[in-house]
Amino acid sequence: MKTLKALLLAAVFTASAAAVGCSDTKTSSSQSDSDSVEQVISPESISFEWQKSFESKLAEFKSSDKFTPDSAFDLFDITGDGNPELIISESTDKQAVCEIFTYSGGTLSELGTAGFDGTFDYLPEFGLTREEYHGDGFLLGKFRQYAEGELTDFLVYSDNSESASSGVTIKHEINGADVLLTEYEAELAPYVDTLTMHLGRKYTFGDDSQNYAIRRAESWGAVLGSKRKAVCRKKLLEIADAMGEDNRDAAFELCDLNGDDVPEIIVSSGSATDSACTIYYFSGNDIEQLEGEYGRHGRLLFDIGSLVFYCETETGMTYWSLADSQFTADKYKSSGSIMETGRRFALTSTGIDASLV
């Protein structure tokens, strides 16, 4: 098993190279016996019934007229059955929707479409999808929930307040009925500050990103042994508790940033522009924090083929590597297999448990 050492190097195109790191991996006295450190299991050795069907659907889409260089996809459990749905986003065009496919009883079927701009939102606290269309002076939106094999409307709303200056009659509607502004705001209030996942465009269609999504990303709960699951759960609960009220928009993700088949833990403080991520790694059966903060909007982009993670800041692109001690930004070339990482699960006891199943 590779150990995580002080390999983290950062380089910014618009500034001089910077380096940050962590101390060498340490083994505690209680883990001096090699048998006490859990054996690494390849995530690709774990199999799920839905994998081949998802791979076939992705290949079918990629060979169709719908596929564009801007196409992307996502995996996320919308139905709550413990298995992810496959979400395919054709593009980021204003009218582009996501196609959602679900696997059940040995069959892959289309659950429906959702979203605009090739994305849609999911509110895990409520189990609702959300779609909003912002037009010229008006807003159309709806929440949907999964029930009995389909997504059904839960709450539909519209508002044209931004057209006030043009002299039109201002209307607020909930489920097709005109309501007062106070009633409109009250109906939507529970969903305003809740954790929101933006779905549809997590992975590009590169070979490595397709393999990672289908054969690795959903396997970490099965890969980690009981000791590492326990310390992971404990650390994430400690982080959530330390955030207090500030953790309402916090999230996290398990992601193998250095290709050693042991995931790092990326904790996102929120989705605001200035929200950053902190990264933790397994040291034996313990967890250590990597020095520094990373990312923007509480997320990172990860080049799976090159094992480089990065983000765009106001001053330029910043790149880091945990896999190559000689890494510099001028050497970096995109592999085309890119994923967004950092906000896969809510930083709650429910989200933590779901990540470790």
Annotate 181-211 with DSSP letters as a single string.
HHHHHHHHGGGTSS--EEES-SB-S-HHHHH
- Residues contacting 244, CB < 8 A, separation 6+: none
Q: How far apart are CA 72 and CA 92, in angstroms?
A: 9
Contact 172, 186 (CB under 8 A): no
Distance separating alpha carbons of residues 244 and 89, to the nearest angstrom: 35
Pairing of strands 98-104, 172-174: unpaired
Backbone φ and ψ of 229, nearest 5°: -60, -40
Query: How crowded is the C-beta side of 319, counted as CA atoms within 13 Å?
Result: 23
pLDDT of residue 26: 36
Q: What is the pLDDT of residue 289?
A: 97
CB proximity list for 295: less than 8 A, separation 6 or greater? 268, 275, 276, 277, 311, 342
Contact 325, 293 (CB under 8 A): no
345: left (phi over 0), alpha (psi -120 to 50) or beta: beta
Check residue 193 and give its pLDDT: 86
Predicted TM-score of the model (pTM):
0.89
pLDDT tens per residue, range 28-39: 334 444 457 888
Give the C-alpha separation, 300 to 276, whole Å: 9
What distance in Å separates the CA atoms of residue 27 and residue 85, rounded to the nearest whole number? 39
* Angle at which helices 207-215 and 51-62 cross, to 10°: 160
What are the 10-residue block averages of pLDDT along the chain, 357 residues in total?
42 35 37 65 96 98 96 96 96 94 95 94 95 91 93 96 85 96 96 93 98 98 95 97 88 97 97 95 95 95 98 90 93 96 96 95
Reported as type and span, the H/E element at residue 177 is: strand 177-178
Determine whether 173 is exposed, middle or buried from the number of CB atoms within 10 Å of its CB (0-12, 13-18, 19+): middle
Going from the C-alpha of 90 to that of each of 41, 80, 96, the distances in angstroms are 34, 25, 7
